[in-house]
Structure 1
């Protein structure tokens, strides 16, 4: 049934489109048409822009070099070859503690990334400034773990929790001893909160 309805609607639409296109021999009505006025522009005379005259470059002064007398130098050198022998040198062994020879250096931990902590809402609403000191353990890969809050001033404004969250994002170059990364416990970091 739906197929029959679709065929009927398609046939009706097709007939309507043909009727709209086909002319019945009627001459189109020209009374209702409007003519668009021609665009008029005044005649212009093309003028050539005068080129900016540049001053002439002064001629280069002729450089007169003084003539130097050539001297012919002749040296009378003996043609006999001289043979020298070097004296044997003593060998010295130095032990300067380079380890196994892989040129690994011992380094201390260096902060690479220090994030800015979010300012606590409670302190921001009351216009308070403060600081928090945290203690962390730097891992062998340079990450941070075991964050402990040591000091917070003023208390109960959220500076400690904001500092703990920021301390978890700290990144360090780890301490290296004999070419191996070493954990560093007890590293303290102070986060200062200031309104600007």
Structure 2
């Protein structure tokens, strides 16, 4: 059984009607219905377009109102007062004092006899010579003591008080230890020998008494032993 399909266009439909062998009444009926629907749809679209154009024509278009420019406040200018500089009036010059009276000088000098007195030198009991000098001893050379190995290994610091005599030629004799202590103040003899060896090499300017070098006994010196940081 053959099945009819609607033709795709109007020319195909007319060809089918002209050809009796290919013409199918059912197919023609369906084609007419489609044409009617298409025509009705076209009329509807045309009517809507005409209605829209009519509304556009009937609309009263107005230009947007012009915006007013922003209001600018007036500029207030302060009142300017000119500055006037006043100068003191010029004082009248004072009167020049009168010149001093002229004094005449007499350039003529009359020679006079001046008395000349020559007195003989006075011989007294005064003696001139060196002024006696008294001075304390002044250190000239004080070598640093050698740090004991035992104290260095144990990290001990301290000091020793040594008493000695300064001779008339500035050397040191009879040194002795008064006391030896560590950094905590506890007595120790670990630094005694090193302190004595250093003091024996000290050199001083000898003490002076009335211009003469003398010995000075009981001189004390503190020898410190401190590890380098």
TM-score (norm 1): 0.51
1:181 to 198, 201, 213: 213
Once residues 107 and 83 of structure 1 are traced to their aligned partners in structure 2, the CA distance between those partners, rounded to angstroms, is 57
Partner Cα separation in structure 1 for residue 163 and residue 116 of structure 2 = 64
SS in 1 for 2:168: coil
User: Which residue of the partner structure matches residue 196 of structure 2?
Assistant: 164
1:102-159: CA deviation from partner (whole Å, max 9, x where unpaired): 2342211111111100011111111111000100010010000001000101355631
Moved more, 179-188 or 131-140: 179-188
1:125 partnered with 2:153: yes
Specify whether residues 163 and 86 from structure 1 end up closer, same or farther in structure 2 by C-alpha distance, changes over 3 A only.
Answer: farther
Q: For 2:190 and 2:174, how far apart are their aligned partners in 1?
A: 19
Conservation of the 8 A alpha-carbon contact between 1:109 and 1:175: yes
The alignment's C-alpha RMSD in Å is 3.1
SS in 2 for 1:164: helix
Give the conservation status (yes or no) of the 8 Å contact 2:162–2:220: yes
- Runs of 5+ unmatched residues, structure 2: 1-103
- The within-5 A match list for 1:1-196 is 77-81=107-111, 101-154=129-182, 155-156=187-188, 158-196=190-228
SS in 1 for 2:193: helix
Cα pair 2:134 2:209 within 8 Å, conserved: yes
Give the superposition deviation at 1:80. 2.8
Secondary structure class of the residue paired with 1:118: coil
SS in 2 for 1:137: strand
* Cα distance in 2, alignment partners of residues 159 and 82 from structure 1: 89
Q: How many residues align?
A: 118
> Aligned pair in 2 of structure 1 residues 160, 76: CA closer, same or farther (>3 Å)?
same
- Distance, in Å, in 1 between the alignment partners of 2:128 and 2:216 is 24
Q: State the structure with bigger RCO (CA 8 A, min sep 6), 1 or 2.
A: 1
Q: What SS class does the counterpart of residue 106 from structure 1 fall into? A: coil
Going from structure 1 to structure 2, the CA distance change for 1:111 and 1:100 (only over 3 Å counts) comes to farther
Per-residue Cα deviation, 1:8-49 (whole angstroms, up to 9, x for no partner): xxxxxxxxxxxxxxxxxxxxxxxxxxxxxxxxxxxxxxxxxx
Gaps of 5+ in 1: 1-73
Structure having the higher Rg: 2
TM-score normalized with structure 2 length: 0.44
| Local SS of the residue matching 1:165 | helix
